[in-house]
Structure 1
Amino acid sequence: LDMKKTLFIVSTKSGGTAETLSFMKYFYNEVLKETGKKEAGRHFIAITDPGSGLQKIANDLKFRKTFLNDPNIGGRYSALSFVGIPPAAFQGIDLDTLLARAITMLHNCESCNCAVDGDNSGAWLGAILGELAKAGHDKVTLVASPPIENFGSWVEQLIAESTGKDGKGILPVDREPLAQPEFYANDRLFVYLRLADDSTYDRQVNALEKAGHPVVRINLKDIYDLGGEFFRWEMAIAVAGMIIGIHPFNQPNVEAAKVLARKMIAEYQKKGKLPVLKPTLKESGITVYSNFKAPNLEQALKKFLSFAKPGRDESKGRSYVAFQAYVKPSDETYNALQKLRAKVERQYRLATTVGFGPRFLHSTGQLHKGDAGNGLFIQFTSEKPEDAPIPDEPGKKASSISFGVFINAEALGDRQALLDRKRKVITFHLGEDVVSGINRLARIL
């Protein structure tokens, strides 16, 4: 990045999100080196709630602009607020068209348009999601036309964080490799978001529907229909939450992993190292941490996956597998994870998700700790040869932890939070060659 020509958008409604503020402090110092104190703040824009810690930082450092959001809007419901609109504008999106589509959907979803007698699409979608989840189809598998596939990442957080609590939940499954109908159990609901004139997944979705799997089709004429989809899905998830009997606007289990991560960091700052786990297996550069012993990697992975619940009755839902990658994101790593994911999906007929940590902690992390406990959690960690210090304060050189330590602390904290909730967890430490390690696990299946 050319720091002299870069504008940073620092967005956290609470004003205290540790990851966001860590990046802000790091890049503020980088800009400071190039521009000096007088100009550094003009390279930053803040989006936050009134009275937050970020608002104070923005004022103190003389940020170019601070957008103060409505504090009554929850973070995952804020796409059509300042959280989403200024970034869209910077990307060249036609805001008039985007918001016009959102307003059209808002009118469609008003209470005067009864879901029983009218065509209230938000209520209809919510009713489908909620009632099918109660009937056991609680894995909402998103299929989207390639130009809008990133929309699934937003829906993923909306569904998971809104519904995954009180021992209940709807699992969003985003970008899972599509398979033949016979590889899916009867716990799925497929939602097909199709752009006009894009037939990429038509044949596969038609086959799923023909085989008897429930499919919802949502047709979009162009990308600006996403303005309406933001509102439709927010409405739908509120309705679905009511149907399955949870509060869709809170997140009671999100803080657990954060508290434990802060505890790990405090220990590092005191002792100079993070807590050390006792390995149960070491093989070919891969170290395994689990609550059971196995003679080799193959048996360790297969035994862990054997803990899956088949979901033969309503009291015990079918398991899913969540791959949690606390490693450096890259196309190569993602492709390796997708291959492993496909192997598990086809051999065990289980729904699978992939998340890079710590991002997913703010997305599916609530559901992982708050749902019925049907998840199998496979953590990947690695060495951090490319690391950088996190400044303790913006504009200061002093640093007590690095990004690598921070990520490792969050992995340890989330692992312990899952174990405290009686979830099943196995951790594979892959050393420095992450892609080779993941590919090896895929081969042994």
Structure 2
Amino acid sequence: MQTSNFKLITIAEIKTKYPFLTEDEKFDYFEDWENEDFFLIADEDVNFDGNFYLDLYEEKEKKWLANLLNLPAKKIEEIRIEGIFIDGNFSVGGSIINAEGDYGPYVFINGNVNCQSLLLGGANVEIKGKITAKEAVMAYYNHGSFNCTGLIEAPVFIVTDHNTTFEERKNELFYYNDRDEIDPKNECEYDDETGDEIMSNELRKLLDNPLIETFEELERDLAIGELVLKQNNPPVKTYEYWHNRVSENYRNLKLVPKEFKTEELCNLALSKTFHALPFIDQDLIRYELCERLVSKDGFAIQVIPDEFITKELSFKAAENGTMLRLIPEEYYSEELILLVFKNGRHEPDINDVPSKFITKSLLEDYVKIGKGLWLDKACKASGIDKLEVLKQAIDFGIEYLDTIFGNHFSQETADYAASVYDNETHKEEWAKYVQKYKNKFERLEK
């Protein structure tokens, strides 16, 4: 199974032919590899055109690999590739990309690396030589590791919460490593409004797109093999380009230059999720748009600008599933609170309700709607008799006994329920509940 420089061999063969690999602590780090699993290897220098992808577990990359090896896609689906080994120098015309931050293969390159950019996330990467990148070397997230025994030479070198070690570096334009001493002018700045860590202006002024503000946004560009530095004159972006980027990820709407940020493009992002709203220019946001988003998903109210939130919009959010804490308190009422509880996707949380709105009738409905998990706490805080609330809920109908017996069973609730429903009128239904909660009733008798 071979094409060009690369071939697939089993891990059993790897252990026999390259025993020094097994001495690396990251080799089969979790001890879950099988000898029948595979490595992608090249036993000589490699010159590769285009981008080289390390995320061999992902569907898109599997298709890329099948094409690389001239194998049916089904064949790649059937096998498990645990690592990549290159016994020589590795020169890539594009970028080397490990875009997945949570995991990746084991990678060992026994030579120098030359590429446009090197992006590393969850893979465990060992490079026994010098790295020369035209643009950037970036390692991010703490699930992966990266060790280079030689020089890392790149205009930009960024390490964010990643297990990265190296012998020496040469970075003429920018260096940031949050596990190393950082030049104050290269420090990030926290944005109180968005909660983002904004990159230093020292880096932002180097980038072709001035709208890139965070390392995450830069990583997204590197993950698709983009030229990102202004000095390298990246290709001019078209509307079609930005349409495709927004189609892939609504967050890319934030990076779209004003001349391409049309209402059509904004609507494309919003068709995917209401979370795109903060990236839309204020002059395109109207009440009708906000109403449409909230009608589709009540949780959208969390991104609606304050000036568009009304009592009517709050009720619409409640009707379409949301959390009480996302609605301004000025619009609270018992009716609204119960509407949120009834239509919510999760167990109603009485803890979200301000004390002035907690009444006996509200608690009775709270018990009927859900499990009433925090009933005891709410009753104590408000001075309302819990047993009276439960009795009233029982009075509403025998169908509520599941909630009462399931979550608030006691001698008192059992006795009261029996006094109401243990009779000829409800004989069969009562018997079903007694049988269903037989163990609880038996414990009362002991």
Query: What is the TM-score when the length of structure 1 is the normalising length?
Result: 0.20
Please tell me whether Structure 1 or Structure 2 has the larger radius of gyration of its CA atoms: 2
Normalised TM-score (structure 2): 0.20
